[in-house]
Amino acid sequence: MTTVAKGANAALMFFLELGVYGAVGYWGFTAGPTWWLKVLAGIGGPVLFAVVWALFGSPKAPVPLHGPGRAALEIVWFGGGVAAAFAAGLLTTSMVFAALFAVNALLRIVWDQV
């Protein structure tokens, strides 16, 4: 049973990562006074987040972070997704996203999935 729960928690982490891209992209396409700024933010924001995650957070990152550095990266990165959803007017979504991240992070620490 624990193996299934750990797998589900790993899957939740993956879907939370996708949620960050979606939230940042949605925020980008709703922000800005002109259509070209919306397109730039809507595409550029997720690309920027993807580059940061690829460099420091992914399993095959060239500069993998561990310990407090990894914790800081995750808080800022996932917090950016929460902030983007909130800024786009998705209050309930941002609250649920923050709660899911907190539970996921806690379980990853308890189950040594970090």
Confidence (pTM): 0.93
Tell me the pLDDT band of 35, cut-offs 50, 70 and 90.
very high
What phi, psi does 27 have (nearest 5°)?
A: -60, -45
The closest of 75, 87, 74, 70 to 23, measured between CA atoms, is 87
Q: How far apart are CA 35 and CA 83, in angstroms?
A: 22
Q: How far apart are CA 44 and CA 15, in angstroms?
A: 20
Query: Above 80 in pLDDT, residue 1?
Result: no
Tell me the pLDDT band of 32, cut-offs 50, 70 and 90.
confident
Per the CB < 8 A criterion, the answer to whether 19 and 97 are in contact is yes
Residue identified by tokens 């095959």 is 60
